[in-house]
Amino acid sequence: MYKVLITDPIAPEGIELLEKDPEVEVYNEPEISYEELLEIIKDFDAIITRSRTPVTKELIERGEKLKVIGRAGVGVDNVDIETATKKGILVVNTPGANTIGATELTMMHMLTIMRNGHKAHENILSYRWDRKKFMGEELYGKTLGIIGLGNIGSQVAIRAKAFGMKVMAYDPYIPKEKADRLGVKLVDNLHDMLKEIDVLTIHAPLTHETKNMIDEKEFEIMKDGVYIVNCARGGIINERALIKYMEMGKIKGVALDVYSKEPPPPEFVDELKRLADKVNISLSPHIGANTYESQRNVAVIVAQQVLKALKGQTVEYAVNAPFPDLSVLTLIKPYLDLAEKLGKFLVQWSDEGIRSVHIEVRGDIAEHFQPISSAVLKGILEEVVDFPVNIINAFYVARDRGISVEELSSEETPDFKHYIKVVVKDGREKVVAGTVLEGQIPRITEIDNYKVDIEPEGILLVFENKDVPGVIGKIGSILGGANINIAGFRLGREKKGGIAIGILNLDDPIPEEVLEEIKKIPEILFVKQILL
C-alpha cells in the first residue's frame, strides 16, 4: 500500500480518485501544522500540497519513504526542488488546469469594458436610470489581437470568433498550422498586429522577452480608442506607460486581473481611480483560477500525476528529474548545465520563434545523450512557457509547442573530447556549440560560422559587425557613458575585412535606450543582449 498525505484543502474529486485506488491509503489533513508534519512524514510515500505547506529541505530529508511531491497548482515556490531532486523524489504540478477559468474571465473583462456593465450596475444601485450614459461597443466586427496563442490564448480565440470578431495573434513559438486551424491570422511582427487591432489581450508568460513588451512605443502605434485586457501576468504591460496613454485618451478601456506587484500599491490604484471617469476600467484580484471547475481540475490532475508517479508510469507535468544513481548525476552535471545554457543562448540569439531543433552530442558523453538533449530543450523552453520545464517533460512541452526535434549522437568528435552542438531554425539557421574543458569548465566554442571561446555566464552583449577598426571603441564609449563596465571581450571572424562577431561580458544589464544607441552604429549589423 502507498500512503498519501494531503496537507492542504483540495477539491473532493481529487481525494475520491485517490481513495478509489486499492493500492493507496489516503490521509487527508488539510490543517496539519508544519511541526506535526515533520513528525509523521517519514511514514508517507507521497505528499500533496498547495501553497500553505512549506516543503522544506528538513521535511524532505525526514521523508524516508517519500517518492513524489504533488503541488496542486502551477507554482512550486514552496517546494525545495533541489533537495527533492537529489533525493530522487519526483515533484509534479498542474499547469493548464485553470485554462477555461482564465479564458472566461478574459471574456468577462472584455465585455465589461466595452459595454460598461460595471458602471451600469452601479448606476442602478444608486437609484438612477441614466441609460444614455452607457453607450458601448460590440465585439462583433472588431479585430482582436492576442499575444500568446497557447492553451488560454487559443480558447480566447475560439470564443472571440464566436462573437464575430476578427482574430490576429503574435506568438513566435506557435506553428502557423495551429493558427490556421483556429482561423487566426498569425503575424511575425508584433507591431504589425498592434497597428490593426481594436482590442488587445495578453496570454503569455512573464520572461525577459515579454517584460514590458507593451510599452510607450507599442501604445503609440495602436489605434485611438483601443481596449486593453491582461489576465496573464503583471509586468508584460509597462504600467507607467499604461497610465500615460490612458491620460492622453488613447485607451478607451482597461481590464486587469494581474499587476506588476500584487496586491498593487495604493498609488497605482489611486491613479486608476482618478482615470475611472475618462476610461472604462475593470479590475480583479488575480482570480483567473478561482472557479469551482478549475479547482476540481487541479485536484484531479494532481491526484492522477501522483498515482502515475507512485506506479512508475510516465507523468506529464514533472517539475524535476529524479536521478536514482547520484554518481551519474554528478558525472554529467557540467554537461547538463552547458546544454541548458546553449538552449538559453539560442532562444535569445534567434530573431523569431524556434520551429525546429537539431541536437548533436559527441564524444564519450554520447551515452548520456537523452538527458543532455532534454537539457537543451529545457533551456529553450524556460524562456517560452510560464510553468516549470525539466529534462523529464521538455520533450512533451516541445511537442506541444510544435517544435520538431532532431537528434544525433556519436562517439566521434571533431575538435574536442566532448562536444554539444545545437542548430535551430527561426526563418534562418542559428548555431551554437560548446564543450566542457578539463576542470569542468563550460565554454561556448562556436556561434553560427564563428569560432569563439566564451564562458556561458552572466550578461553577454553579442553583435555582428563589419570587420573594420573602431567598432569596439564606439561600443565601449557608449557603455562607459551609461556607467556599464565591460568584464571581458572575445572576437571571432571568418576572414579579415569581412564580418566579425563580438561578445562582451558585462557587469550590469544594458537599458533598452543604450542598446538602441548601439544599434545605430553604422558598422553594427545585429546586436542582442543575452542573459545566462
Interatomic CA distance for residues 424 and 430, integer angstroms? 5
> Could you tell me if 73 and 31 are in contact, meaning their C-beta atoms sit under 8 angstroms apart?
no
Of 71, 233, 401, 418, catalytic = 233
CB burial class (10 A; 0-12, 13-18, 19+) of residue 496? exposed
Asked if omega into 54 is within 30° of 0 (cis), the reply is no
SS3 state of residue 461: strand
Task: Write out the three cell numbers for 254.
Answer: 482597461
Of 118, 286, 296, 443, catalytic = 286
The CA distances from residue 67 to 1, 15, 85, 224, 347, in Å, are: 13, 19, 10, 56, 34
Interatomic CA distance for residues 333 and 80, integer angstroms? 19
* Phi, psi angles (nearest 5°) of residue 351: -80, -35
Of 39, 262, 429, 457, catalytic = 262
> Could you tell me if 177 and 261 are in contact, meaning their C-beta atoms sit under 8 angstroms apart?
no
Measure the N-to-C terminal CA separation of the chain; round to a whole number of Å: 45
DSSP code of residue 45: S
Would you tell me how many other CB atoms lie within 10 Å of the CB of residue 420? 29
Q: Where are the beta strands (DSSP E) in 93-216?
A: 143-147, 166-170, 185-187, 199-202
Residue type, 350: S
Q: What is the CA radius of gyration of the chain?
A: 26
Among residues 65, 6, 60, 40, which one has the least CA distance to residue 303?
6
Among residues 278, 271, 223, which one has the least CA distance to residue 113?
278
> For this structure, is 286 an active site residue?
yes
Residue type, 309: A
SS3 state of residue 12: helix
Q: Where are the beta strands (DSSP E) in 323-394?
A: 356-363
Residue type, 305: Q
Q: Active-site positions? A: 233, 262, 286
